[in-house]
Amino acid sequence: MPFRSFLFSAAIMLACLPALAQHPTPRPRRGPIYDMDAVNRGKTDFQSSCGFCHGNDARGNRAPDLIRSPLVNHDENGNLIAPVIRNGRPDKGMPAFGSLSDKQIADIVTFLHYSGTQALRSGHVSEDYPLEKLLTGNAAEGKAYFNGPGGCAHCHSVTGDLAGIANKYSPIDLQQHMVYPGHDIPVTATVTTSDGKTYEGKVVHDDEFTIAIIGKDGWHHSWRRSAVKVEIHDPLAGHRELMEKYTDKDMHNLFAYLETLK
């Protein structure tokens, strides 16, 4: 390429940099990868052992829907589901399935997680999903949790951002937004350099070595973590902490309370 043409091309690239910085190419999100043999084995074992009560598709029958169960959603590699399958819940009329092997239980766990993922991806769960299947909590206890140990009132107001929330969303969507409020709310950071300059913007990379943001000026900025002071602002931090803390009862009570906000 002639040097003159090279300079022209370089000039065009430099002119485009601010726009590219403002609209960085998003990295594709990879969903979980499932062993389909395990999914199919798990489906067979689930239907023969659990389908009569929970439905062959795990969406509920005589017993609750498992696709939207907090137990399943909070489970990691069977740490919550497996003990329930193995030991049952005698107080709720669920028998133990001690005859199932560890491998069979692991396959059932895989099937349940796969089914939940597919439901979210395909929107298979109906918008008019029966409210009575979800509304099993105590609204008064949910209100106490909202204003007390849940810490919800620190960020939300029932007369402000949550006013009429039960009319805004269908029951199934309201429960989903309660647990997973959205992934489009950006994490931002304030970065202060050693000379006292401050930069603010959307975080595009953050690990123990490097912090990078798209600043208010539209440019990409990055620093060694050890060389700057960083304050992270994550609007969903409280929700993520709750995912590790609240119980099935807390979630159902909280949902019952939110359903009263019409």
Q: What is the pLDDT of residues 163-218, one digit of tens each?
A: 999 888 878 778 777 776 765 678 899 999 999 999 999 999 988 899 999 998 89
Distance of CA 193 to the CA centre of its chain: 33
Q: Name which residue leads in pLDDT, 34 or 23.
A: 34
Q: How many CB atoms lie within 10 A of CB 3?
A: 7
- pLDDT over 60 (residue 156): yes
Q: Name which residue leads in pLDDT, 185 or 55.
A: 55
Residue ranges of domains in the chain: 36-122, 131-183+239-258
Q: How far is 204 from 214, CA to CA, in rounded Å?
A: 7
Distance of CA 184 to the CA centre of its chain: 12
Q: How many CA atoms lie within 13 A of 226 on its CB side?
A: 1
Q: Would the pTM count as exceeding 0.75?
A: no
| Residue 33 backbone dihedrals phi, psi, to 5 degrees | -105, 125
Q: 47-56, 67-76, 191-200, 246-255: which range is least confident on average?
A: 67-76
Q: What is the chain's mean pLDDT, rounded?
A: 80
The beta strand positions in 130-234, using DSSP E, are: 188-192, 198-206, 210-215, 220-224, 229-233
Q: How far is 105 from 108, CA to CA, in rounded Å?
A: 5
What pLDDT was estimated at residue 5? Answer: 41
Smallest CA-to-CA distance from 124 within 195, 58, 217, 183 is with 58
What pLDDT was estimated at residue 242? Answer: 78
Q: How far is 67 from 57, CA to CA, in rounded Å?
A: 9
Q: Name which residue leads in pLDDT, 89 or 142.
A: 142
What pLDDT was estimated at residue 61? Answer: 75
Contacts of 152 (CB under 8 A, 6+ apart): 145, 146, 238, 254
> Percentage of the chain surpassing pLDDT 70?
80
Helices (H), 88-191: 102-122, 131-134, 139-147, 165-168, 171-179
Given a contact cutoff of 8 angstroms between Cβ atoms, the answer to whether 42 and 32 are in contact is no
Given a contact cutoff of 8 angstroms between Cβ atoms, the answer to whether 42 and 109 are in contact is yes
What pLDDT was estimated at residue 31? Answer: 54
| Mean pLDDT calculated for residue range 56-85 | 83
What pLDDT was estimated at residue 191? Answer: 96
The edge-to-edge listing of strands for the beta sheet with 210-215 is 220-224, 210-215, 198-206, 188-192, 229-233
Q: What is the pLDDT of residues 82-140, one digit of tens each?
A: 999 999 888 777 888 988 999 999 999 999 988 888 776 655 455 555 666 667 789 99
Class for the domain spanning 36-122: mainly alpha
Q: What is the pLDDT of residues 222-233, one digit of tens each?
A: 999 999 999 999
Tokens 């969406």 label which residue?
59
Q: How many CB atoms lie within 10 A of CB 112?
A: 27
Q: 7-11, 44-48, 244-248: which range is least confident on average?
A: 7-11
Q: How many CA atoms lie within 13 A of 214 on its CB side?
A: 15
